[in-house]
Amino acid sequence: MTVLAEFSKVIRESHIAMNVIFAESNVIELGVSDAGIIAKSKRVSCVLTVDLDLYLSIARAGYQVINFNHLRQKRIMGLGN
């Protein structure tokens, strides 16, 4: 079984109403999917993304976000665990 299949067994899915997504101030700039992720970032402990604009928007809003590229770069440079 793949890692994602195993992961899907332990995570909990949830729904965000479209009116919440479309109320995000940056829905036009970033798009519906990213606006949904931003709305979700208010309800989860952390968001992991490779999208710089999404990362910056979530960070500016004060929510926990990790840019996967930063982790990858640390590993390449031998700085990570």
Distance of CA 74 to the CA centre of its chain: 19
End-to-end CA distance of the chain: 26
pLDDT at residue 81 is higher than 60: no
pLDDT at residue 60 is higher than 90: yes
pLDDT score for 25: 92
User: Domain segments of the chain: what residues?
Assistant: 16-76
pLDDT score for 6: 84
pLDDT at residue 24 is higher than 90: yes
What does the chain come to in residues?
81
34-48 pLDDT, tens per residue? 999 999 999 988 998
